[in-house]
Amino acid sequence: MQSAVQLATSIWQKITDEATQTAAAEPVLAEYLKANILDHGSMAEGLGFCLANKLAADTTPTSLLREPMTTVFSDPDIVNAVARDIQATIDRDSACDNYSSPFLYYKGFLALQAYRASHQLWKQGNRAMASLIQYRSSLRFAVDIHPAAVIGSGLMIDHATGLVIGETAVVEDCVSIMQSVTLGGTGKVSGDRHPKIRKGVLLGPGAKVLGNIEIGEGAMVAASSVVLKDVAAHNIVAGVPATVVGHTQTDEPSKVMDHYFKCG
């Protein structure tokens, strides 16, 4: 098994190889690829630069964001999570056939990495900077993930527009999340009030999971469902409110990405 550093290094090499080939084939993109990928010696440097530029604004200059982001992504555990997210996107998104596209263009991947930076800063007590990154990410990518949420690695967030993940939510490893999903609270309940999404879950487009409830390992929530109570492992739920309509045929439906199901 590759170490965290080895995995990140291997995927960064794939990204730089692709950028080199694309720059040669499409010279008009050469400067763009050089600035965002080829001028950087590691995933940490490249991602810190790329995200800082995407999140910058007139009153939030790139220089303000780049240093803390590069520092966060230099952590072997965090850059390993980044690499696993890229690999998950390659493995599960049929529209993605190279490693550089998520890094440069996929706002689900980019919003997730902005969250990783803000989460680490939040844990370190730098909540002002964490909140600034969250704010800029929500404006830039139309994705709002609270810095205090706890999210694993190997996630694929497809399309991403409208995704909301609340403060006390937990999302474990190898989860796939489609666009317009909400992991939210209910009313004015305080404290631990957001969903817990276990390993291998697939959350369909527009799914709303509300309250301090658990979506069990390997479960699936069908598109546009509203989930208000716990879902047992490997169950499929659908509807408003969601009810059990079947059982998954694989341990990790997040990896299969099959949204169809037979009732019963």
Compute mean pLDDT per 10 residues along the chain, 264 residues long, and list them.
Answer: 76 98 98 97 96 96 95 95 97 95 97 98 97 98 98 97 98 98 90 97 98 98 98 98 95 90 60
For residue 189, the model assigns a pLDDT of 80
Sheet hosting strand 170-171, strand order edge to edge: 150-151, 170-171, 196-197, 214-215
Strands (E), the chain: 144-145, 150-151, 156-157, 164-165, 170-171, 176-177, 182-184, 196-197, 202-203, 208-210, 214-215, 220-221, 226-227, 235-238, 243-247
Give which of 178, 193, 207 is closest to 148, Cα–Cα.
193
Two tokens, residue 24: 């040669």
The pLDDT score that the predictor gives to residue 258 is: 85
Can you give the pLDDT at residue 261? 67
Mind listing the domains of the chain with CATH numbers? 1-142 (1.10.3130.10), 162-264 (2.160.10.10)
Q: What is the pLDDT of residue 188?
A: 79
Helix (H, G, I), strand (E, B) or coil at 103: helix
Measuring CA to CA, how many Å separate 135 from each of 28, 128, 235, 237? Answer: 32, 10, 35, 32
> How many Å apart are CA 133 and CA 166, to the nearest integer?
15
